[in-house]
Amino acid sequence: MAELQFVVFKLGKEEYGVNIMQVQEIGHYAEPARVPNTPEFVEGIMNLRDNVIPVISLRKRFNIPEENLNGPERDSNENRRTIIINLGDRQIAFIVDDASEVLTLDEASIQETPDIIAGVDRKYISGIGKKGNRLIIMLDLNFLFDEQEQAQLEAI
């Protein structure tokens, strides 16, 4: 049985995982430079070693409201992280609430996406990982943006 490694991060109280092979690095959150007339989930741009890359709020991309955070968590950027992803030949920064760990799962611990969440709008959810009592929503970042959104990101 093959073992796979995932970077696990949080949006609100839910845990998500992305294949470690797509992750370049994880850094502390820094406010991006805003760019006008971009999709709502684009927070702006940042300079990463002389490359200007788009910064995406996964919370906004997935329509997760701020009220999923309680009290001080809502106002604090202390745990917020930026995950730099290699997506094809591009780099994109994702803002997440917390990046907690690198997790190794064997393929048997990952179940197919249940039909109730497997609609067209959720094609980027590749499965549900189980580790003890934890459920981790596994993401396939190759399907995160539709063609129009990809074109908009390339224009940034």
The three-class DSSP label of residue 107 is helix
pLDDT for the residue 81: 94
pLDDT for the residue 92: 95
Amino acid identity for residue 44 in this structure: G
- 141 torsion bin: left (phi>0), alpha (psi -120 to 50), beta (else): alpha
pLDDT for the residue 21: 93
pLDDT for the residue 118: 53
Residue 132: alpha-carbon gap to chain centroid: 22
**Could you say which of 1.10.287.110, 2.10.109.10, 2.40.50.180, 3.30.479.30 is the CATH number of the domain covering 3-154?**
2.40.50.180
Residues of the chain with pLDDT under 70: 1, 67-77, 115-121
Q: Which residue has the tokens 């009592």?
A: 133
Domain ranges of the chain: 3-154
- Is residue 65 within 8 Å of 110, Cβ to Cβ? no
pLDDT for the residue 151: 79
